[in-house]
Amino acid sequence: MARTLTHINNYLSLVKFAHTVFALPFAMIGFTLAVSDDRYIFSYRLFGLVLLSMVFARSAAMGFNRYVDRDIDSINPRTKKREIPAGIIKENSARFFTLLMGTLFIATSFFINPLCFYLSPVALTIVLGYSFTKRFTSLAHFFLGLGLSLAPIGAYLAVTGIFDIIPVLFSASVLLWVGGFDVIYALQDEEFDKSNNLKSIPAWLGKRTSLWVSSICHFLSILLIVIAGYLGPFGTFFWIGVLIFSLLIVYQHLLVKPNDLSRVNVAFFTLNGIASILFAMFVIADLLLHY
């Protein structure tokens, strides 16, 4: 039993399961936005399928990323203790895990609706493809954002089977929000990326300009949420959520300085995770009050 739990913990660590707090709350916003429409009804079955598809897609993406980057991770002082370079999880096991998660994602989408099933290979290609982007473009951060941005529109499509401007605006906001905070996270590897011919905005533009790029991304991300608020069926709780989300994003930028990266992890994980969860709580509460 103890050995099984250890294996489970190793794989949870491999895929950074705790980082689901970035995209999952926005998926729940997309799902709630859809079921709050009088044309659709809440279904526990569908809700469970959406959760499973999120977990499977993200696990496939992270497992693939760790497998593809295993040689890079093994020479980076910051990442050499990750599960594959440290020998905790074997390469073949990581490869099988990724294949299994990807297959389960597509299989789950089959039971949601035909559109989600037909789009599932496209979604999987996007979330897996991110892992190669740092080798040829400094805009890799935004490919990561693109992968996570599928959460709100995907959950909305699961319920409705159609596209709509509000979830698309949320998805665009997630793209810029994630891309912006990934730029901050990448500040830690600026010199490593330069010396190993890896692409990133910090390696391309330096720390100070990168922080400006991140700030612009986050300003645009908040602006898109505000536009969604004006176009959508939202009330007071939504705007409280927007205010909290915005203040936490601003505070994130106050923590990280070009000459002081000691609080990057706090800015990256803690503040963004809290911002995502609190924003989703207020938006979902607002939608349910009007349901």
Bridge partners (DSSP) listed for residue 192: none
Q: Residue 13 — pLDDT band, cuts 50, 70, 90?
A: low
Matching residue, tokens 């473009």? 137
**Nearest Cα residue to 216 out of 238, 201, 200:** 201
Cα angle 244-179-196, degrees, rounded to a multiple of 5:
140
CATH number at residue 80: 1.10.357.140
Q: What is the mean pLDDT of residues 193-200?
A: 95
Res 7: pLDDT:
64
Q: For 69-83, how does the pLDDT look when each residue is reduced to its tens digit (9 = 90+)?
A: 999 999 999 988 888
- Whole domain around residue 218: which residue ranges? 2-289
Checking if the pLDDT of 285 tops 90, the result is yes
The number of domains in the chain is 1
Is this model's pTM higher than 0.85 or not?
yes
* CA quadruple 207, 209, 213, 215: dihedral sign: positive
3 state SS for the chain: CHHHHHHHHHHHHHCCHHHHHCCHHHHHHHHHHHHCCCCCCCCHHHHHHHHHHHHHHHHHHHHHHHHHCHHHHHHCCCCCCCCCCCCCCCHHHHHHHHHHHHHHHHHHHHCCCHHHHHHHHHHHHHHHHHHHHCCCCCCHHHHHHHHHHHHHHHHHHHHHCCCCHHHHHHHHHHHHHHHHHHHHHHHHHHHHHHHCCCCCHHHHHCHHHHHHHHHHHHHHHHHHHHHHHHHCCCCHHHHHHHHHHHHHHHHHHHHCECCECCCHHHHHHHHHHHHHHHHHHHHHHHHHHCC
Rounded to whole angstroms, the Cα distance separating 194 from 123 reads 30
If you average pLDDT over residues 220-234, what whole number do you get? 97
Residue 86 pLDDT greater than 80, yes or no: yes
